[in-house]
A and B are shown apart, each in its own frame.
Chain A
Amino acid sequence: MEHGSYQDQSASTFSLADEDHTLANSLRFTLNQDPRVALCGYSIPHPSEARVNIRVQTTGDPANEVLKDSCQDLMLICQHVRSTFDQAVVDFKNNNGAENQ
């Protein structure tokens, strides 16, 4: 799923099959927020092909490590969103139950 230059580890294009804006745009966000990233962006080469290319250029670190860390960040964000959301729902249900009585 990965192609790019093998001499220069700091710049790669990753091609993800069966993915679209959903993942690529979120990853672009987390990648851009990483200080090690010099440039990143994504494109969908053809709309009828389920595939997205993510370009990552770093200031020196291997691009695949940086991408992996960004995925990790996104996962942590999701986990936090999930726990906060569940707590908010529980609170809402408790409060409303109390009001109805």
Chain B
Amino acid sequence: MPKIPLWDLPELPKNQLPPHLYLQKTRVFCNNDAPTHTENIHYSGAYAALGVDNSLRLDEFRKNFKVKVIKLNEEDMEFDLIGIDASIANAFRRILISELPTMAIEKVLVANSSSVVQDEVLAQRLGLVPIKVDPRLFDYMSENDVPNQKNSIVFKLHYKCDRGSGERRTVYSHDLKWLPFGSEYVLPTESSSDSTSKPKTYTSFTSSQDSLPEFANNPITVTPGIIISKLGPGQEIELEAHAVKGVGKTHAKWSPVATSWYRMLPEVILLQDIEDDDAHKLVKKCPVNVFDIEDVGRERATVARPRSCTLCRECIREPGWEEKVALRRVKDHFIFTIESTGALPPEVLFTEAVKILEDKCERVITELS
């Protein structure tokens, strides 16, 4: 860069950064050797010497913040969060993965299991089966609580492979049957002679879950089609699985998302006109077809699909190309993806995650006052 005497510098408009600093603040530069300017400049007085205020003004945030939904169905969702800092976007992602509650099988009472899958492995596999029920309808079960209709869901699995059939049988997750009345297994402390009252079981439901309006015509199911075990001739599995509410921090089986991630929007810029042979070379270089060729008398390369760029940096790998193509990421534009496991639709998951962050703030505020 040539040296310019200070007094020859052009006057800057007030409260606006010079273009190169603005780029460094808002973009990650993906160079051939390493990315630079990856940090976010948070400090309110970072540009005080330039007379630029870097503090947060909520009205400004409200004006600039945008959400664009790209894809939405029962399981997946992709949307753009524009105009928010990485720390907050990351907080949402972390909450989605580890702090949103769901129901998952926690206790398995095995009455009989003669398959080759060991009981503990079987229990682990059952735990990971997603249960399709709104966790907001249930309470957490703390240590001294007894399992009741407000904090537990009970499933039964009884599957037998006949010896005579000579075939192997596969046990699937949809063979789990919901027991709205709770456990059917009687506690060993109960004497069988006592027939005056109903024998005590492993759960103490005071009413049936299917009498609740939420579940009346809407039985609780699990995600079907997941292989749990395989049975040979003569083998049998008989068990009861008790699901409780929990969060992904404790165990990944309670995580409501298969995963959730974001990436910053890629920005591909041609620093000079790339024409004819070079244009064809450039189009060939990119494995995901970011570039196109347009015909303007001569053939010229254009950036047609910057969003699909993976920042593989192939197009700037060869000497000389870094001067022609600039690869950057926009620091405050996040392409956010949520893959739900099925308990709640992804858009509900996101709003719940935002609510949890609000609750955290509220907790700190109340403790401080």
Contacts and interface: CB of A to CB of B under 8 A. Distances in A.
A67 B91 CA distance: 18
B84 A81 contact: yes
Nearest to B357: A78
Contacts of A29: 40, 42, 85, 87-88
Give the interface residue-count category, chain B: 35 or more
Contacts of B68: 88
Contact of A89 (B65, B87, B347): B347
A84 interface: yes
Given A2-B368, A89-B72, A33 B354 contact: no
A34 B44 CA distance: 6
B56 interface: yes
Contacts of A87: 67
A43 interface: no
A21 B53 CA distance: 27
Contacts of A20: 94
Interface of chain A: mostly helix, strand, loop or mixed: helix
Instruction: Give the residue among A1, A71, A81 with the most B Cβ atoms within 10 A.
Output: A81
A76 B364 contact: no
A1 B357 contact: no
B120 interface: no
B81 to A, nearest CB: 8
Contacts of B354: 78, 81-82, 85
B368 A64 contact: yes
A22 B42 contact: no
Contacts of B58: 73, 76-77, 80
A92 B69 contact: yes
A27 B79 CA distance: 24
A11 interface: no
Nearest to B350: A85
Interface in A44-75: 64, 67-68, 71-75
A69 B204 CA distance: 47
A47 to B, nearest CB: 13
Contacts of A71: 361-362, 364-365, 368
B17 to A, nearest CB: 16
B277 interface: no
A76 B368 CA distance: 18
Contacts of B67: 81, 84-85, 87-88
A16 B107 CA distance: 32
B364 A16 contact: yes
B94 A21 contact: yes
Contacts of A81: 65, 67, 81, 84, 88, 354
Contacts of B362: 71, 75
Given A23-B361, A28-B42, A71-B365, 7 more contacts: A71-B361, A73-B56, A73-B58, A74-B361, A77-B84, A82-B355, A88-B79
Considering the complex of A and B, which 10 residue pairs feature the smallest CB-CB distances, nearest first?
A33-B56, A32-B42, A92-B69, A88-B67, A29-B87, A71-B361, A25-B87, A75-B361, A22-B94, A26-B91
Interface of B: 40, 42-45, 53-56, 58, 61-62, 65-69, 72, 79, 81, 84-85, 87-88, 90-91, 94-95, 99, 347, 350-351, 354-355, 357-358, 360-362, 364-365, 367-369
Interface of A: 1-2, 16, 19-23, 25-30, 32-35, 37, 64, 67-68, 71-82, 84-89, 91-93, 96
